Structure 1
């Protein structure tokens, strides 16, 4: 199924929980919103969002671990390595039915389904 040109896939319960927990943080929502306009490097993104680079890098790491952003190093014109971040196209549709399907695949703390 497509949603606004994005391929929508069903998520396992653990994936859905990880995505929702990651996006539950207002800073991370702002990072996704800023990157929706196009990729950016850490320093410029930190200035745009008005947060420190260490705090931004913490949030970017969590977004990357959830599969919502990607990172790539590029050399600037003066040879400095710069880490650029971009969003990964994603769509999550929440309905009682989609949550019920995902809930069937949740693992317990012991790793059992």
Structure 2
């Protein structure tokens, strides 16, 4: 069971963004190695892939920061009150003293 307010798929989504950033960066590196004056399109493809990888990496970092900030907010909220306690059972003697039963 998770704490109230936690998002179960957040960590998987963040890891997926980091993975996509790494794959796009690797693709940009491969395309850049094939760039030549004849194959100028690989340079353009490498630049677009590198830009996408950088944007995805920055997005993953921002989402990580948002997740951590969200967890801090939940922690601060849960820290405000006492831990829940169960109420003690009322005995028959106490009910008779208060006049609720005879």
User: Normalization by structure 1: what TM-score?
Assistant: 0.28
- Identify, as 1 or 2, the structure richer in strand: 1
Query: Which one has a bigger Cα radius of gyration?
Result: 2
* TM-score, normalisation: structure 2: 0.30
